[in-house]
Amino acid sequence: MKDFKTIAIFNYPHEIVVLRHILDQEEIHYFFENEHIVSIDPLASFAYGGIQLKVHPNDFEQVQEILDNLNSKLSIV
């Protein structure tokens, strides 16, 4: 896990639910650093640096594409 690199940072646990499902379906190895501590104390998210999505460098491009597709499909009405 020491080779894993941060590709995205989220502030709240609810922001990673859909992404976790997609990464599991694609069988990508990942982990969310600080997920549990932020779940316990959401207001401290900024103090801990948020919830950091860490992936292996071999999966970096694929995960970046997934993140880009998610961001382009989200719209606020």
Domain membership of residue 76 (yes or no) is no
Q: How is residue 58 written in tokens? A: 């071999």
- Quote the number of domains for the chain: 1
pLDDT tens string 47-59: 889 999 999 999 9
The boundaries of the domain holding residue 66 are 3-70
For residue range 8-45, list pLDDT tens digits in order: 999 888 889 989 999 999 999 999 999 999 988 888 88
pTM across the whole model = 0.84
Backbone angles phi, psi at 41, to 5 degrees: -135, 80
Per-residue confidence (pLDDT) for residue 75, from 0 to 100: 52
Residue-wise pLDDT for 58-70, tens only, equals 999 999 999 998 8
pLDDT of residue 73: 60
Give the closest residue to 62 by CA, choosing from 15, 4, 7.
Answer: 7
Classify residue 30: in a domain, yes or no.
yes
